[in-house]
Structure 1
C-alpha cells in the first residue's frame, strides 16, 4: 500500500521537529565539549534574516552551544572565505544561507572535507550538503501572482521584479509565471533584476513604468525590493497593483494602508525555518539515519484582511 505523501512528509518533518522541541524545553544538553554552530547569511541588512539570527541564537543558548554569525553582503567570494574561517574556528554544524546557490559550492566542499555537518537554509546550495530547509518558493510566487491576476480581473500588463540567482528566487519567478499563464488576458511585458534591494528596485521599477505606460501590476521576488518598487509606483501616480514574497513587517504595514498599491505578499516563517534547520543539523550531527534530506515549509498569502493578525 502506498503511504500518502502528506503523511510521509509530516512524519519526516516531525523527526527534525523533535530536536527543536527538545531545544525549547531544555531537554537537550550539549556534550562536555561545547557544540559550535556557524551560520553564514547571504545578508543581514534585512529583518527577515535578522529574525532568523535571533531565533538561532536563542535556540543555541538553550543547549549551551556557541554561535558564530557572518554576513556575506551578497558577495559569494566573501561567503566562501567566511565559511573557510568558521571551519578553521572549529564549527561542528554549519547553517548556510547561500548568496549564490552554485558559487557557494567551494564552501560546501570545504565543510564536507572538514567533517562539518552542513544544512542549507532558505536557499539550496550546490554540493554535498547534509540537508535543506526552505519555503515552498514555487507556491509563494504562484499564490502572489494568482492573487494579482484575480484582482486585475484576469486582464492587464504585468512586470516581474527579479533577484539574485539563487534557487528560491528562480522558483518564485517560475511559480508566478505559471499562475499568470493561466489567465489569457494577462501579458508579462517586462522582467528586470532589482537585486532584492530597496534602492535598486526603486530605480528599476521607475524604468519599467516609463517603458510600459499601460502597466497594471508588478510582482517582486521579495518584500525589501517591493518596498522600493512601492515608492516608484506611488511617485508615478498610476494605478499599479503590487504583490511580493516574505511577510516583512514593513511590507505588512504597507499592505494594511487604505488604498495602498501593495495588495499582498506570500509570507514565509523565518523562525521556524532556522529552528528546523538547527534541529535537522543536530540530528545529522548526532548520527540519526532516519531524518529527511529536505524539509519544505508552507507559505501563506497575506492580503489586507489578514495582515492585521500576521507577524513573524
Structure 2
C-alpha cells in the first residue's frame, strides 16, 4: 500500500480514516478502551531541534489531543543510549502505544523488543527500527535521492564533479544516498568526487562543505541528505562564490524559501510530509490497539519541489 496524501487532511481524519480502513470491526474494543480511561501514548524522536521533527511532534500533539489521549514526548538527541533509557522510562509510566523515530535503526532493537514484550503497540515513523514492530510509516527515501539527483544532473548539463553531504547511518539516509548514487551513475560524464558527513546539522554541514569546496575547486553540484544540513551547505557555497548547484531532501519551510529566490544555488528538494507520516503512524497504532490487522509498512510518496513548485508548497 502506498499513500499519496493531499494537504488539508485534519489530524483526526488522517489518523482515524486509516484506522477504519485497516480495521475489520473494532467498535467494541474501542468502546472498552474508552471506559478504561485516556490512552497514554509515548513518542521517542531522534531529535526535536530540527524543523522537520518539530513539525512532526506538533502534528502528533494535535492528533492525540483531538482524541483525548495523553502524550509523552522525548528527544534522544541522536544518542541511542538515551533513546533506550527514555523508552524504558515511558514503559514504567504505563504507555499503551509507542511511536518511535529511531536515532539508530539497529541500536534500538532491544528497546523495541521490550516494548513488544510488554504488550505495547509500537510503530516506527520516518526511520525504520529493527525488532518486532507492529508497523512502519516512512517516505520513499530511495525515490527522494533519485529525484533530487536526477534534477541535479540535469541542472549541470549531465557532466561535472558532484559531492554528497551524508548523514547519520539510519535507513532513510542510507536510502537517499543510494538513490542519489544510482541516479548519477546513469550519467557517465558525472563523477562523485567527495562524500562527507555533515551529520544533518547546519553548523557541521557548513564546515564540511567549506572544506569540500576548497578540496574540489571544480565541483559543480552537491546533494545534501536533508534540508537542515543543506542550509549550512548553501551558506558555504554562497560565501565561496562558486557556481555549485544544490539539491536536498525534506521540504522544510526555510529551504523552500531559499529555492524561491532568483538565481538561487539551492535548486530543489525532495519534499516529505512529516505531519501526514505521524498521523498515519498514530492511526495504524490505534487500529492495532483496537484489535485490527495493520500493514507492516506504509510508504509515503515524496514530491520534488523546484523553484516553480516552491511558490505553493508547504508542509
TM over 0.5: yes
Partner of 2:9: none
**Structure 2 residue ranges without an equivalent (≥5):** 5-12, 20-26
1:299 alignment partner, one of 289, 294, 302: 302
Asked if the contact 1:172/1:221 (under 8 Å) is kept, the reply is yes
Asked if the contact 1:122/1:133 (under 8 Å) is kept, the reply is yes
Asked if the contact 2:205/2:230 (under 8 Å) is kept, the reply is yes
Q: Report the count of equivalent residues.
A: 297
SS of the residue 2:278 aligns to: helix
Partner of 1:310: 313
Partner of 2:233: 229
Report the CA distance shift for 1:252/1:19 in structure 2 as closer, same or farther (over 3 A). Answer: closer
SS of the residue 2:220 aligns to: strand
Partner of 1:146: 150
Structure 2 CA distance, aligned partners of 1:160 and 1:10? 29
Partner of 1:5: none
Structure 2 CA distance, aligned partners of 1:114 and 1:172? 34
Asked if the contact 1:19/1:283 (under 8 Å) is kept, the reply is no
Question: What is the CA-CA distance between 1:223 and the residue it aligns to?
Answer: 0.1
The alignment status of 1:110 with 2:114, answered yes or no, reads yes
Asked if the contact 1:98/1:104 (under 8 Å) is kept, the reply is yes
The alignment status of 1:247 with 2:251, answered yes or no, reads yes
Report the CA distance shift for 1:96/1:196 in structure 2 as closer, same or farther (over 3 A). Answer: same
Q: What TM-score, normalized by structure 2, do the two folds share?
A: 0.91
Partner of 2:70: 66
Asked if the contact 1:216/1:241 (under 8 Å) is kept, the reply is yes
2:55 alignment partner, one of 51, 54, 58: 51
Per-residue CA deviation, residues 240-265 of structure 1 (Å, 9 max, x unaligned), is 00000000000000001111110000
Per-residue CA deviation, residues 281-303 of structure 1 (Å, 9 max, x unaligned), is 111111112x2110000000000
Per-residue CA deviation, residues 1-51 of structure 1 (Å, 9 max, x unaligned), is xxxxxxx5569xxxxx8753389xxx9876122100110000000111111
SS of the residue 1:31 aligns to: helix
Structure 2 CA distance, aligned partners of 1:9 and 1:164? 26
Partner of 2:93: 89
**Structure 1 residue ranges without an equivalent (≥5):** 1-7, 12-16
Partner of 1:21: 17
* Superposed structure 1 runs of 4+ greater than 6 Å apart: none
Structure 2 CA distance, aligned partners of 1:37 and 1:145? 38
Q: What TM-score, normalized by structure 1, do the two folds share?
A: 0.92
Higher relative contact order (CA 8 A, sep 6+): 2
Partner of 1:279: 283
